[in-house]
Structure 1
Amino acid sequence: MKKRNYSLWCGALVILSLLLNGCYSKKELVYLQNSEFNNEYPTTIKNRRPEYRIQINDVLQIDVRNPDPTTTALFSKNNGQLVNGNVNPAYLYLAGYSVDDRGFINIPIVGTVKVDGLTVNEAETLVQTEIDKYLNNASVEVKLVSFKISVLGEVKSPGYYLIYNGQANILEALAMAGDITQFGSRDDIKLIRQTSDGSEVIMLDLRDSELMNSKYFFLLPNDVLYVEPNKEQLKRSNLEPLTIVFSALTTLALFVNAYVNIRNNTP
């Protein structure tokens, strides 16, 4: 009987160890931790918002307005479907102005305008100057409509998301993706950013409030966020085959002990 009780205790210890491996502390899960945060006064953290410059293959929406709608229509593509952001991504390409591989957009009447390397505001000023040559009292508005980010890894809804408000930070991106799962690492978030020199990769820690002071807190078009699995998830994955082995051995031990007890009790 003692041997069988010993086997049962072994099985219980295996289950207990698995449960303990699945435990999380508050320090591992809470975002933007800072001992200075309190409920008496706000803590100000100065953000460093990156300045995005238009790149090849970006898509711009250009809205030209004038008292004469007939004349205005000559300069504007039909953007009527761009309402409250409810638009098929393919339509953005068809209705917008794509930056070609030389960095130009082609505006009706005006012709080609080089916008590669400009900010959206600078591009708006340039297009306004060009439109003023052909149209009096016109108002020009330029927006980047190809602001797309991708969120992958241990999140509830991985995929790509279009941003319609001109800027987004990491927390907003994770919110769109349904937040990080319990198996995702909060201190190993990989940000992949496209630059003129290639791909830039940096690891971010969501638990550190200093992240809000980083130039990487705000996302840029075509950024990719990858949430790596946490250590507990890796341990769980490695323990699964061991659990099967331990369960089999425990079951075998119970059968052996039962057989031995029967043999010992047989006259």
Structure 2
Amino acid sequence: MHHITAKLSGLTQKVNKMKILRNTLITLSIATIVFSSCTSQKELTYLSNLDTTSVQQFFPMERPDYRIQYQDILYVDIFTMNQEMNELLNSRVSTSSSYMYRDPSGIYIYGYTVSDSGYISIPMLGDVYVYGHTLGEIKQIVRKRADEYLKNPTINVKLLTFKFTVIGEVNHPGTYTNFNNQLTVLEAIGMGGDITDYGNRKKVLVLRPTREGTHTYRINLQDKNLLQSQGYFLLPNDVVIVEPIKSKPFNLNLPTYAFIISSLFSAISTTLVLIAFLNSPR
């Protein structure tokens, strides 16, 4: 009886040692996997190579001008000192309808759509050719036409169909409308909810469709040279694609890997205990 008790005691000690070894190996394996898949702070920082010792730095960059295309929709208002004339010229932008410009259907109804022949039709001024011109050029064209009928008119021209798309590793991918005359890639990513934990800030692709074809720009959001890149300022219809980091598939499957490792070590430890039990002297 004493011999059997001693045998069971020794076997229990072996089992406990095997459990401790198994748990230690599992912990070390999971810790190794987790630390190897961690993202450093530097990889999450934008423009990380900017000189932090300088109070101010300057990066010259000429903003590209967008040239109006067919079916673009413009906002045009013309103001003079004559209130009655203002109401006639700007019937589309009355107080009761101005809020409609925030709605896609309102933009279509109240904006000036560029016809397939390249014209917009403005009350009193008639048809004005705008295709292929920049907003600044159109403003001058409208002012020249308005000077024929009005005294010292004030002209305001905006593009209402400044749409862009952000897809890939961002929190809120989709197509957005910009109501300013300019937009940077950083602002676009911000409107898309910023880059996810799986996004690669070093690999961002900007697609720019033009009349001749599609231009592509590869940019690095961590590099200060981004501020001088042709892809920094976006144009209407640009598409921003944020690529995933290489370890994304591994990170997504991490729970599965941890389960497999845990199950494997459990099977090994159970097998070793059985072998020890069967080989123990009777």
TM-score (ref. length: structure 1): 0.86
| TM alignment of 1:212-231, pairs within 5 A | 212-231=227-246
1:36 to 39, 48, 51: 51
Residue 69 of structure 1 corresponds to which residue in structure 2?
Answer: 83
Contact 1:66 1:138 (8 Å CA) reproduced: yes
Aligned-pair distance for 1:244? 4.3
For residues 136-167 of structure 1, what are the alpha-carbon distances to aligned partners after superposition, in whole Å with 9 as ceiling and x for unaligned? 44322111122222221212222222222321
Residue 108 (structure 2) pairs with residue 93 (structure 1): yes
Aligned-pair distance for 1:174? 1.8
TM-score (ref. length: structure 2): 0.82
Residue 173 of structure 1 corresponds to which residue in structure 2?
Answer: 188
Structure 1 residue runs of 5 or longer lacking an equivalent are none
2:66 to 45, 48, 52: 52
What is the letter of the counterpart of residue 157 of structure 1? H
Aligned-pair distance for 1:257? 3.6
Residue 105 of structure 1 corresponds to which residue in structure 2?
Answer: 120
| TM alignment of 1:143-154, pairs within 5 A | 143-154=158-169
Aligned-pair distance for 1:60? 0.6
- CA separation of 1:71/1:42 partners in 2, compared to 1, >3 Å: closer, same or farther? closer
- CA separation of 1:69/1:262 partners in 2, compared to 1, >3 Å: closer, same or farther? farther
Aligned-pair distance for 1:66? 2.3
Structure 2 residue runs of 5 or longer lacking an equivalent are 1-13
For residues 63-114 of structure 1, what are the alpha-carbon distances to aligned partners after superposition, in whole Å with 9 as ceiling and x for unaligned? 011233333333334224446x982233112211111233221223333222
Aligned-pair distance for 1:248? 3.2
For residues 216-266 of structure 1, what are the alpha-carbon distances to aligned partners after superposition, in whole Å with 9 as ceiling and x for unaligned? 211111211111111221332465654443343233324434444555569
**What is the aligned length?**
265
Aligned-pair distance for 1:36? 3.1
Aligned-pair distance for 1:189? 0.6
Query: SS at 1:189's partner residue?
Result: strand
CA RMSD of aligned residues (A): 2.7
Q: Quote the Cα distance in structure 2 between the aligned partners of 1:124 and 1:17.
A: 62
- CA separation of 1:8/1:66 partners in 2, compared to 1, >3 Å: closer, same or farther? same
Q: Quote the Cα distance in structure 1 between the aligned partners of 2:258 and 2:70.
A: 52
Identity %: 34
Larger RCO of the pair (alpha carbons < 8 Å, separation 6+): 1
Q: Quote the Cα distance in structure 2 between the aligned partners of 1:8 and 1:160.
A: 49
Query: SS at 2:48's partner residue?
Result: coil
Greater alpha carbon shift after TM alignment, 65-74 vs 190-199: 65-74
- CA separation of 1:35/1:145 partners in 2, compared to 1, >3 Å: closer, same or farther? closer
For residues 104-135 of structure 1, what are the alpha-carbon distances to aligned partners after superposition, in whole Å with 9 as ceiling and x for unaligned? 21223333222111110110111122233344
Q: Quote the Cα distance in structure 1 between the aligned partners of 2:125 and 2:260.
A: 74
Contact 1:37 1:43 (8 Å CA) reproduced: no
Structure with the greater alpha carbon radius of gyration = 2
- CA separation of 1:247/1:160 partners in 2, compared to 1, >3 Å: closer, same or farther? same
Q: Quote the Cα distance in structure 2 between the aligned partners of 1:48 and 1:142.
A: 21
- Which consecutive segments of 4 or more residues in structure 1 shift more than 6 A? none
1:120 to 109, 115, 135: 135
